[in-house]
């Protein structure tokens, strides 16, 4: 075993191992090579974009490529003028004691999550400015590569000194990979799959290509999530892989299946309640799980009718939780649904593989399009002075206009202010 | 159980030295005595301090122990002591208890895994100079406010410390006869952070002589001993990274 979490151990060590678009990789490599050759044009590299896309990982991979240590100042460090001067400033012009034999640059200075660096003027009224100006000084005078990561590039630019810092840096945006047909995407997934299989085998476990693909599909582009899933499945390899996968919440894997088994097969009220006490999912999830798996357990139609009668009573109470905002009703729903077995007279003896509620699956799959639809309706509502619900009745009209010609479609998009995804929803 | 008794003079020396570089440090205790290594967050200054077990008044350690401490908290304790006191330090659960005269006080120990002990790089340079601490301190003070860096130059017959900015400059020249020892065959020079050097020299209250060794664009090593006696007192060395020239 390589430590407790594979995630930490297998953080990509080289730029080729990190997951990013090739054009970004080429730009970053060019910057790294400029330091290796000693022909630096930009002292700093700005990596910006949403969290979790590998900006910090990339910074560490760059240091690895240069074979130098990282001097990191992140959001948990104080980053006013004085501390930036004392740490990043000092580090930027002096050699690193851990790489004294190294020619050329001697360390990478990483200013992580630079969004929150202090840029306010000091209170004593002198010309003393905050951390941003000191960072600018560091970048101007540094003899070592500086990497800055941030989420909000435009917010950073607005700060005092922000645009000067940007002008002295090479800026690269990290973007989410959504274009599934993209060559880079496929290449990255292939690379990822090979790496994951390697990780699993290095730790003495086995996993099939297909299972890896399913896990990647589910988590992409969150590599951290992918590796966590792979690790938990590999370690719990005696339990069925698909059982682990079908269940959405990572920690409750055993409990929900146990509860299903106890409700349908054990038929022991006390035991079911005991298990339900430790559950970490919602009562509505429980009802959905029973709903989805009931037809497989109750094969006699009469049993099915009776069981659904009980379950629907539970569902009524769930509805009242929302309607009356009275959360105590949840207990009724839970207790009633736990008694579903009372409706089933012939207990199923065959093996049943409990399935993840298809409703939750399809809801999560359609999440993107549902929110796009909501936004589109809101925008239409705004120009037609109706509520977004009222705008539903107008959809056919815009759809008809959009389908007449491409020009009309574009004009419509501009008029209402729709993006392509929202337009797609309207045209169907 | 770990129980140490140490003179205030020696403890103050150790804490002052650590304080020049870090805010947290891990004291390692073994059969030879105490050892602390620490590096600043910029990787520019490193310190390696040693104190023989014979220099303790009382040294009771079962084989080995590690005490991770907050240096600022230790400073607070030192301030309570009068100069002739001896301090007793006892490790109790997750705390370090101090007894000094009529006062007893305990501070929390930090998690040993959270304070890292750096690996000290192997430094080797043939040229060295041994000089009186006061002499070096004067040269450094002359350079203060001139620049952030000071350039040390060693020649076969002299040692110079020079600092220059656009409008000001300062220089100290010490001939071979002014120095205790000088071993240098060809001229070597390198620049180092002045602020660190000043703080180090100030914190070495009881050292009389310092041995400086360096070469071109290479870390500076400063060896010190706070007592003439080979066994007594605190000894060690300080490493400073050179300024990277274009």
Given A69, A71, A94, which is nearest B242 (Cβ)?
A94
Averaged pLDDT score across all residues of chain A: 81
| Chain A residues closer than 8 Å to B42 by CB | 71, 86-88, 90-91, 94
ipTM, 2 decimals?
Answer: 0.89
Condensed to tens digits (0 to 9), the pLDDT of residues A272-313 reads: 888 887 777 788 888 988 998 888 888 889 999 999 999 999
Q: What percent of chain A has pLDDT over 90?
A: 22
Residue A308 φ/ψ, nearest 5 degrees: -70, -30
Q: Are A412 and A401 a contacting pair, CB within 8 Å?
A: yes
A106 has a chain B CB within 8 A of its CB:
yes
Domain residue extents for chain A: 20-173, 186-216+226-247, 256-363, 369-427
Which CATH number applies to A20-173: 3.40.630.30, 3.40.50.300, 3.40.50.11540, 3.40.50.720?
3.40.50.300
Residue B239 φ/ψ, nearest 5 degrees: -115, 135
pLDDT top residue among A81 and B160: B160
Given A86, A90, A97, which is nearest B46 (Cβ)?
A97
- Say what the pLDDT of residue A237 is: 57
Give B4's pLDDT tier (boundaries 50, 70, 90).
very high
**What residues form DSSP beta bridges with A377?**
none
Q: Are A18 and A57 a contacting pair, CB within 8 Å?
A: yes
Residue B67 φ/ψ, nearest 5 degrees: -125, 110
- Say what the pLDDT of residue A1 is: 38
- Say what the pLDDT of residue A395 is: 85
Q: Name the closest residue on chain B to residue A101, using Cα atoms.
A: B218
Does the pLDDT value for residue A150 go beyond 60? yes
Give A241's pLDDT tier (boundaries 50, 70, 90).
very low
- Say what the pLDDT of residue A128 is: 42
Given A71, A100, A143, which is nearest B219 (Cβ)?
A100
Give A120's pLDDT tier (boundaries 50, 70, 90).
low
Most confident of A19-23, A219-223, B168-172: B168-172
Does the pLDDT value for residue A126 go beyond 80? no
Angstroms from B235 CA to nearest CA on chain A: 21
Does the pLDDT value for residue A345 go beyond 70? yes
Q: Judge if B2-114 and B128-240 fold alike in CATH terms.
A: yes
Does domain B2-114 fall into CATH 3.30.70.330? no
CB contacts < 8 A, A to B, total 57
- Say what the pLDDT of residue A221 is: 65
Residue of A40, A79, A91, A94 to mutate, testing the B interface (most B Cβ within 10 Å of its Cβ): A94
Condensed to tens digits (0 to 9), the pLDDT of residues A357-403 reads: 888 777 777 777 888 888 888 888 888 898 888 888 888 888 888 88
Q: Using CB atoms within 10 A of its CB, is residue A355 exposed (0-12), middle (13-18) or buried (19+)?
A: middle
- Say what the pLDDT of residue A276 is: 83
Range in A136-145, A188-197, B109-118, B179-188 the model is least confident about: A188-197
Q: What percent of chain B has pLDDT over 90?
A: 59
- Say what the pLDDT of residue B128 is: 94
Does domain B128-240 fall into CATH 3.90.700.10? no
- Say what the pLDDT of residue A182 is: 59
Domain residue extents for chain B: 2-114, 128-240
pTM exceeds 0.90 for this model: no
Does the pLDDT value for residue A240 go beyond 50? no
The H helix count followed by the E strand count for chain B is 4, 18
* pLDDT, mean of residues A231-237: 70
Range in A233-242, A273-282, A324-333, B10-19 the model is least confident about: A233-242
Exposure b/e, B152-182, CB count within 10 A at least 16 = b: bbbbeebbbbbbeeeeeebbbebeeeebeeb
- Say what the pLDDT of residue A413 is: 85
Angstroms from B101 CA to nearest CA on chain A: 38
Does the pLDDT value for residue A71 go beyond 90? yes
Give A252's pLDDT tier (boundaries 50, 70, 90).
very low
B43 has a chain A CB within 8 A of its CB:
yes
A71 has a chain B CB within 8 A of its CB:
yes
Q: Using the beta-carbon criterion (under 8 Å), do A94 and B44 form an inter-chain contact? A: yes
Given A71, A97, A143, which is nearest B244 (Cβ)?
A143
Residues contacting A121, CB < 8 A, separation 6+:
A128, A129, A130
Report helix, strand or coil for A111.
strand
Q: Using the beta-carbon criterion (under 8 Å), do B244 and A88 form an inter-chain contact? A: no
Residues contacting B108, CB < 8 A, separation 6+:
B70, B94, B95, B96
């Amino acid at each position: 075993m390589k430590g407790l979490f594979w995630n930490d151990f297998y953080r990509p060590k080289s730029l080729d191992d990190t997951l990013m678009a090739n054009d970004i990789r080429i730009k970053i490599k060019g910057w790294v090579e400029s330091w290796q050759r000693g022909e630096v044009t930009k002292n700093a590299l700005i990596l910006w974009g949403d969290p979790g896309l590998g900006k910090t990982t990339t910074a560490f991979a760059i240091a690895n490529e240069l074979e130098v240590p990282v001097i990191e100042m992140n959001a948990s460090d104080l980053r006013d003028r004085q501390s930036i001067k004392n740490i990043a400033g000092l580090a930027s012009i002096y050699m690193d004691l851990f790489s004294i034999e190294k020619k050329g640059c001697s360390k990478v200075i990483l200013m992580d999550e630079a969004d929150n660096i202090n840029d306010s003027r000091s209170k004593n009224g002198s010309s003393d400015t905050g951390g941003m100006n000191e960072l600018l000084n560091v970048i101007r005078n540094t003899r070592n590569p500086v990497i800055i990561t941030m989420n909000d590039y435009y917010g950073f630019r607005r700060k005092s000194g922000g645009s000067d810092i940007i002008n002295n840096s090479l800026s690269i945006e990290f973007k989410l990979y959504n274009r599934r047909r993209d060559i880079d995407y496929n290449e990255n997934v292939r690379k990822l799959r090979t790496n994951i299989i390697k990780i699993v085998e290095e730790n003495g476990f086995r996993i099939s290509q297909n299972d890896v693909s399913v896990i990647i599909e589910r988590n992409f582009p969150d590599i951290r999530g992918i590796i966590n899933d792979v690790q938990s499945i590999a370690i719990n390899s005696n339990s069925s892989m698909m059982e682990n996968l079908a269940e959405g919440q990572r920690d409750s894997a055993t409990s929900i299946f146990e509860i299903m088994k106890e409700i349908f097969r054990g038929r022991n009220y006390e035991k079911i309640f005991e298990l339900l006490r430790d559950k970490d999912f919602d009562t509505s999830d429980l009802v959905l799980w029973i709903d989805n798996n009931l037809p497989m357990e109750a094969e006699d139609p009469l049993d099915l009718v009776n069981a659904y009668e009980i379950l629907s009573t539970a569902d009524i109470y769930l509805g009242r939780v929302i309607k009356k905002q009275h959360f105590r009703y949840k207990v009724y729903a839970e207790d009633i649904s736990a008694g579903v077995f009372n409706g089933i007279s012939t207990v199923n003896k065959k093996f049943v593989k409990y399935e993840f509620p298809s409703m939750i699956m399809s809801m999560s799959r359609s999440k993107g399009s549902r929110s796009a639809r909501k936004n589109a309706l809101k925008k239409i509502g705004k120009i037609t002075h109706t509520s977004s619900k009222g705008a539903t009745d107008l959809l056919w009209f815009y759809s008809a206009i959009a389908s007449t010609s491409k020009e009309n479609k574009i004009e419509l998009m501009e008029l209402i202010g729709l993006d392509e995804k929202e337009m797609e929803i309207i045209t169907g | 159980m770990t129980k140490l008794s140490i003179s205030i003079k020696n403890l103050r020396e150790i804490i002052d030295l650590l304080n020049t570089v870090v805010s947290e440090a891990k004291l390692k205790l073994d059969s030879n005595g105490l050892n602390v290594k620490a590096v600043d967050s910029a990787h520019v200054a490193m310190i390696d301090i040693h104190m023989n077990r014979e220099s303790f008044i009382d040294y009771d350690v079962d084989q080995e122990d590690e005490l991770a401490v907050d240096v600022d908290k230790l400073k607070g304790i030192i301030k309570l002591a009068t100069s002739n006191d001896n301090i007793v330090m006892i490790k109790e659960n997750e705390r370090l208890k101090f007894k000094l005269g009529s006062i007893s006080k305990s501070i929390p120990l930090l998690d040993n895994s959270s304070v890292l002990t750096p690996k000290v790089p192997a430094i080797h340079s043939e040229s060295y100079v041994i000089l009186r601490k006061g002499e070096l301190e004067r040269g450094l003070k002359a350079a203060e406010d001139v620049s952030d860096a000071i350039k040390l130059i060693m020649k076969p017959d002299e040692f110079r410390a020079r600092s220059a900015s656009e409008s000001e400059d300062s220089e100290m020249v010490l001939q071979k006869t002014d120095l205790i020892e000088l071993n240098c065959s060809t001229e070597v020079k390198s620049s180092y952070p002045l602020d660190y050097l000043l703080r180090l020299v100030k914190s070495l209250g009881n050292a009389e002589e310092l041995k400086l060794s360096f070469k071109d664009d290479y870390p500076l090593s400063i060896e010190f001993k706070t007592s003439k006696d080979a066994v007594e007192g605190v000894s060690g060395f300080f490493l400073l990274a050179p300024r990277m020239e274009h």
